């Protein structure tokens, strides 16, 4: 079975090609993170949603016109990596472009499920190209099967829209952490991902570019390293050995709490599942208090109408900026 759909984008063919191949642009409409070695024979791996990883081989590349991917899913036996074919063709259309996606090599059931997914994401691609923002991604995660790594991916997805707001002019903008304005807080979050990767023997390479790109690339590397870690083992923590199951909590907690800090700086809220927040809050309860006075302040009272994320932030010693400045 084959799925086919064409969408019209008000952007040039070169920009349309970038939107469907470049990680920083893919994250704006389809992925939480993406790795693409854009050459024939190169690999790609996209976290389409927490716990859902598309992977395979780049089979053909004609820049600005066409890319062919060997498509499948990690850990999905009936459609493993590289076992079907996705072809994206781009044609000029007046001042814009026509983008046609063809997905071949599917069973009837696979075609139906992929049609649902492609229709969802191609709709987001159209909104991004037309308005510059695809809006929140409503694709669900398997909340009942959360792990620290899945929660970290969900946290990253929630924080990315705020990270995209940050420009060089925002470096000195205050956050709820008085000693860490926006620029330094972004640096701190990237370094946290580097340190968390090192705890399990991984080298997290820091990327240049926007705040969103730097944090997303570092977080993806750290989360990927932890995904292959035995959570029953011990790892080298900042103050000695600690259970991997406990240390893994720091991935999502660091991302969501510092994401909350950054959202406060821009008077925004994070669109994140209450289930994910409750999961991270519960996992953090034994470990976070041990870092008070160093990484975290003493718990502060939460307002009666506080969201689950605001309550988690209060547990971590944060006071909302609107309250702090009254």
pLDDT of residue 151: 95
Is the CATH number 3.50.30.30 carried by domain 3-131? no
pLDDT of residue 11: 98
In this predicted model, what pLDDT tens digit does every residue of 195-248 receive, in sequence order? 999 999 999 999 999 999 999 999 999 999 999 899 999 998 776 788 999 899
pLDDT of residue 140: 64
Nearest CA to 323 out of 315, 306, 308 is that of 306
pLDDT of residue 325: 39
pLDDT of residue 291: 74
pLDDT of residue 145: 81
Is the CATH number 1.20.120 carried by domain 144-324? yes
Sheet containing strand 43-49, edge to edge, reads 3-9, 96-104, 84-93, 66-73, 52-62, 43-49, 33-36
Considering the chain, tell me which residue range(s) the CATH 1.20.120 domain(s) occupy.
144-324
Do 321 and 264 form a contact (C-beta atoms < 8 A)?
yes
pLDDT of residue 324: 43
Separation CA 90–CA 92 (nearest Å): 7
pLDDT of residue 292: 76
3-state secondary structure of 318: coil
Do 6 and 126 form a contact (C-beta atoms < 8 A)?
no
Quickly list DSSP for 254-271.
HHHHHHHHHHHHTT----
pLDDT of residue 76: 83
Residues of the chain where predicted confidence (pLDDT) is lower than 50:
323-326
Considering the chain, tell me which residue range(s) the CATH 3.30.530.20 domain(s) occupy.
3-131
């Amino acid at each position: 079975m084959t799925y086919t759909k064409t969408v019209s984008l008000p952007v040039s063919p070169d920009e349309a090609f970038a939107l469907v191949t470049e990680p920083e642009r893919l994250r704006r409409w389809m992925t939480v993170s993406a790795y693409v070695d854009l050459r024939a024979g190169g690999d790609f791996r996209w976290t389409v949603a927490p716990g859902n990883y598309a992977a395979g081989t780049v089979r053909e590349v004609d820049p600005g016109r066409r890319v062919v991917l060997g498509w499948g899913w990690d850990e999905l036996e009936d459609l493993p990596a590289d076992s079907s074919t996705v072809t994206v063709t781009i044609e000029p259309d007046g001042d814009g472009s026509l983008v046609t996606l063809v997905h071949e090599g599917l069973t009837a059931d696979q075609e139906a499920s992929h049609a649902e997914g492609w229709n969802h994401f191609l709709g987001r691609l159209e909104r991004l190209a037309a308005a510059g923002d695809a809006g929140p991604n409503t694709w669900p995660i398997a909340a009942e099967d959360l792990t620290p790594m899945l929660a970290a991916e969900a946290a990253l997805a929630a924080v990315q829209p705020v990270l995209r707001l940050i420009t060089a002019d925002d470096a000195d903008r205050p956050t709820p952490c008085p000693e860490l304005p926006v620029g330094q807080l972004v640096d701190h979050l990237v370094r946290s991902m580097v340190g968390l990767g090192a705890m399990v023997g991984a080298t997290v390479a820091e990327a240049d570019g926007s705040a969103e790109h730097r944090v997303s690339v570092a977080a993806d590397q750290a989360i990927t390293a932890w995904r292959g870690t035995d959570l029953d083992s011990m790892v080298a923590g900042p103050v000695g050995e600690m259970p991997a199951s406990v240390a893994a909590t720091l991935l999502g907690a660091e991302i969501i709490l510092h994401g909350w800090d950054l959202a406060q700086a821009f008077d925004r809220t994070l669109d994140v599942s209450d289930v994910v927040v409750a999961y991270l809050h519960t996992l953090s309860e034994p470990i976070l208090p041990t870092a008070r006075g160093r990484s975290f302040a003493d718990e502060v009272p939460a307002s009666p109408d506080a969201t689950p994320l605001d309550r988690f932030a209060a547990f971590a010693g944060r006071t909302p900026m609107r309250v702090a400045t009254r």
